[in-house]
Chain A
């Protein structure tokens, strides 16, 4: 609806929707291929994928993306792009879908990447945590924020880092894809606690020191504080619901064994 776009928004400002629609189409095509050959694919995963891409899209087009001067709106965009969308996308198990739909030679190449030394390092929980949290601290507390507003390429680099960092972190903590090494539940909860504390402290540091030095930073910092809580609450629920399902399966197996023993 270009007629309803706010002043200054052009057709170009809707361009980010193109790659997002392409990714959504690829995901849905993969799901269709699985369902056609009779495999199961949980509806929740497809919903998470479409939802995550929709959230990412909402952050990249007007009105959220067309008010770079209002810091609270920037904060909303940041929460959608770097936290909410990555969590949903991690829950959609894109890697599992890819591995199950591409032909064997391509699958081998994907697996080689997943098991490569670099991927092992990046998916190690402390590294993923550092990349996610470190990126945000560097962006909001250093002159990087100002540079990103002056140079489009810095802005693009920072945004890309935040989306990928958020996705990596969500995948390691709450993702449904298999990883070479994923921390056990206590380790996962510890990483979540550290991330939650780091986000809360960052929002208060921004509020306390007026960083980045733009008008409206107090409101933006509070938006980030509350919104970050909501996403981390959802992330903790995702981690614990997976644990609850695992425990349930283990319990049913144990009961099954007990019944077998009693029958013998």
Chain B
């Protein structure tokens, strides 16, 4: 079922983006701040939903993927398509809407932000484009590939 593979991929992609954001940028590099005084209340609520949605997505995505594997109906190409779209869209939303429009926090403090913002948003956009490209082309479930039921 290619559609389910895309769905599992999107959830995993969103989850990975959120996980990387939280661990790498918040906890390890300490570039992102827990809260900065520019944050609006709408920003707090949006952040709350995306943060909660991120880890929920990774759990649901992993179990969904496990179920596809058990049924041998996974289409790896479509999982990657969904994963890149989910990761890229989350990245762009985080970069444009949450960082900029809502002023949640910036990518890094005390530096010229433009190269960071461009790298952040363009990498996400590239992910979406590659993901969409992978939506096309042949879709082979793993059961077919191994020639078993």
Contact = CB atoms under 8 A, between A and B. Distances in A.
Interface in A177-209: 189, 192-193, 195-201, 204-205, 207-208
B60 A240 contact: yes
Contacts of B35: 204, 207-208
A236 B56 CA distance: 7
A197 B63 contact: no
Nearest to B62: A240
Contacts, number: 71
Contacts of A193: 49, 52-53, 56
Contacts of B52: 192-193, 195-197, 199-200, 232
A184 B71 CA distance: 22
A85 to B, nearest CB: 21
B45 interface: yes
B48 A189 contact: no
A204 B44 contact: yes
Contacts of B63: 240-241, 243-244
B70 A201 contact: no
Interface string A193-231: 101111111001101100000000000001001000100
B53 A201 contact: no
Interface string B52-74: 11011001101100110011000
B34 A222 contact: yes
A234 B60 CA distance: 12
B59 A237 contact: yes
Name the interface size band of chain A.
20 to 34
Grouping DSSP codes into helix (H, G, I), strand (E, B) and loop, the B interface class, with mixed when no group exceeds half, is helix
A244 B62 CA distance: 11
A251 B69 CA distance: 13
A196 to B, nearest CB: 3
A78 B148 CA distance: 52
A220 to B, nearest CB: 12
Contacts of A243: 63
B51 A197 contact: yes
Interface string A91-116: 00000000000000000000000000
A229 B56 CA distance: 10
Contacts of B45: 197, 201
Contacts of B34: 204, 207, 222, 225
Given A201-B44, A201-B45, A207-B34, A196 B67 contact: no
B56 A204 contact: no
Nearest to A240: B63
A114 B55 CA distance: 33
A15 interface: no
A248 B70 contact: yes
Given A201-B44, A204-B48, A251-B70, A189 B60 contact: yes
Given A204-B35, A208-B39, A251-B70, A240 B59 contact: yes
Interface of B: 34-35, 39, 44-45, 47-49, 51-53, 55-56, 59-60, 62-63, 66-67, 70-71
The 9 closest A-B pairs by CB, nearest first: A196-B52, A201-B48, A240-B63, A197-B48, A200-B48, A236-B59, A197-B52, A197-B49, A200-B51
